[in-house]
Amino acid sequence: MTTSPAPTELTAPGRIPILIDGTQYLAPRREMTGAQIRALPSPPISEDRDLWLDVRGGLDKLIGDNEEVRLHPDTCFFTVPKVINPGCAG
Smallest CA-to-CA distance from 29 within 40, 13, 16, 12 is with: 16
State the CB neighbour count (10 A cutoff) for residue 7.
9
Q: List pLDDT tens digits, range 53-87.
A: 999 999 999 999 999 999 999 999 999 999 866 66
pTM for this prediction: 0.79
* Domain residue extents for the chain: 33-82
Amino acid at 54: D
Q: List pLDDT tens digits, range 77-86.
A: 999 999 866 6
Q: Can you tell me the distance from the alpha carbon of 19 to that of 9, in angstroms, rounded to the nearest whole number?
A: 14
Residues 6+ apart with CB under 8 A from 49: 79, 80, 81, 82
